[in-house]
Amino acid sequence: MRDFRYTALKERKWDSEVLRLLAAIYREAGRQEICLKQRPEELEKLVEIARIQSTEASNAIEGISTTNTRLRQLLREKTTPHNRSEEEIAGYRDVLSLIHEDYDVIPITKNYILQLHKILFSHTASPMGGKTKNVQNYISETYLDGHSRILFTPLSPFETPEALDRICEEYSFAIGSGEAEPLLLIPVFIHDFLCIHPFNDGNGRMSRLLTTLLLYRSGFPIGRYISLEAKIAKNKDLYYEALSASQQGWHEGKDDPLPFIKYLLGTILSAYRDFDDRYELVEERLPATETVRKAVNGLIGRFVKQDILDLCPSLSLSSVEGALRRLVQEGVLKREGSGKNTCYYRLK
């Protein structure tokens, strides 16, 4: 089995791109801390939006979905799951809520990761929730003509429990001793977790939940207000490319996690900048039409009413609908479709 030594990160020389990303994230994190103190109540409205987007996006990456109405009912615990997809969505909801509320008392150990995985599958009949894999799994790619090829072979079931223990121990030591920069250590841990691929099912979702947990514990609560999962889903090809590039030579300890580090740092920084944009809309307290006008100026291509509601959490549904009507009348927006299929795009 390969060796894991996370304290070695402090010995590595990082290129200018990584250093710029780190500096920008710390700068944005400081700005967010000030914003949260100034407008805590208004910004709390972003939390539910992020929870919905995170749960929807992370499951959608794995082909798990339901309707928007059912999704919101499940997240508000106003209904019970009707099928396997909804059972898995409910499980993700539960783990994400636990992380939001109790991140500071969830240590990074194999046993706690297994507990989170058990909760993830707690609404299903799966007997593998909370257990490491019992069969060899593979990371593969399927092409349009139906054939597939193996991109990476994770550790064997026999090696998995010890490896999961080791990365948790190494991470905890490196964080606890201050021997590694958290924003570099987190993507390396997540990369190793995905290379181990410790479960029969749920590895991708667990990796995204663990990313949010590790960021919380290191003082970067951006995932509470902006969905990292939605950002990953929007650019999942880049996610898979970065992961694949970093996996080369992993078993022999010759891998370079730099592509995945840069990808994840870029995603985190993008989330912080989204937070800035939404904070500006909350802070200015413009009339509803002007708030929506400013929001749509930052959008490219077609968008729906829900996109504006997400961007403008201080506005009610009726205010957004009225503002969109006025912007259509002014010739700023063009409306297409009707009912649930209604969308808009900017004319000027």
**Tens digit of pLDDT for each residue in 173-217?**
999 999 899 999 999 999 999 999 999 999 999 999 999 999 999
Taking phi over 0 as left and psi of -120 to 50 as alpha, with beta for the rest, 121 belongs to alpha
- Give the Cα separation of 124 and 126 in Å (integer): 5
With 70 as the cut, is the pLDDT of residue 283 above it? no
Provide the 3-class DSSP secondary structure of residue 128: coil
Q: What is the mean pLDDT of residues 32-42?
A: 81
- Give the Cα separation of 230 and 225 in Å (integer): 12
Q: Virtual CA dihedral for 108, 109, 115, 117, nearest 10 degrees?
A: 70
Taking phi over 0 as left and psi of -120 to 50 as alpha, with beta for the rest, 302 belongs to beta
Q: What is the mean pLDDT of residues 94-107?
A: 95
Q: What is the mean pLDDT of residues 162-183?
A: 95
pLDDT tens-digit profile of 288-338? 888 888 888 878 888 998 888 877 877 778 889 999 999 999 999 999 998
Cβ neighbours of residue 25 under 8 Å, at least 6 residues apart?
Answer: 183, 220, 265, 268, 269, 272
pLDDT at 279: 80
pLDDT at 79: 87
pLDDT at 184: 97
Q: What are phi and psi of 301, to 5 degrees?
A: 80, -165
pLDDT band of residue 282 (cuts 50, 70, 90) is low
Cβ neighbours of residue 171 under 8 Å, at least 6 residues apart?
Answer: 6, 108, 185, 189
pLDDT tens-digit profile of 110-153? 999 999 999 999 999 999 999 999 999 998 877 667 777 888 99
pLDDT at 61: 92
Q: Virtual CA dihedral for 257, 263, 264, 268, nearest 10 degrees?
A: 150
pLDDT tens-digit profile of 63-83? 999 988 898 899 888 889 999
Cβ neighbours of residue 212 under 8 Å, at least 6 residues apart?
Answer: 54, 96, 99, 223, 228
pLDDT at 247: 94
Q: Find out whether 309 and 315 touch, Cβ atoms under 8 Å.
A: yes
* DSSP code for 303: B
Span of 53-57, 265-269, 295-299 with lowest mean pLDDT: 295-299
Spacing of C-alpha 15 from chain mean position: 25
Q: How far is CA 275 from CA 36, 65, 95, 268, in A?
A: 11, 26, 23, 11
With 90 as the cut, is the pLDDT of residue 44 above it? no
Q: Name the residue among 74, 88, 6, 72 with its Cα closest to residue 261.
A: 6
pLDDT tens-digit profile of 231-248? 999 888 999 999 999 999
CATH assignment of 6-281?
A: 1.10.3290.10
With 70 as the cut, is the pLDDT of residue 284 above it? no
- Give the Cα separation of 197 and 191 in Å (integer): 10
Per DSSP, what are the bridge partners of residue 149?
Answer: 141
% the chain with pLDDT above 90: 64
CATH assignment of 288-346?
A: 1.10.10.10
Provide the 3-class DSSP secondary structure of residue 336: strand
Span of 29-43, 48-62, 277-291, 296-310 with lowest mean pLDDT: 277-291
What's the predicted TM-score (pTM) here? Answer: 0.86
Spell out the domain ranges in the chain. 6-281, 288-346
pLDDT at 91: 95
Provide the 3-class DSSP secondary structure of residue 66: coil
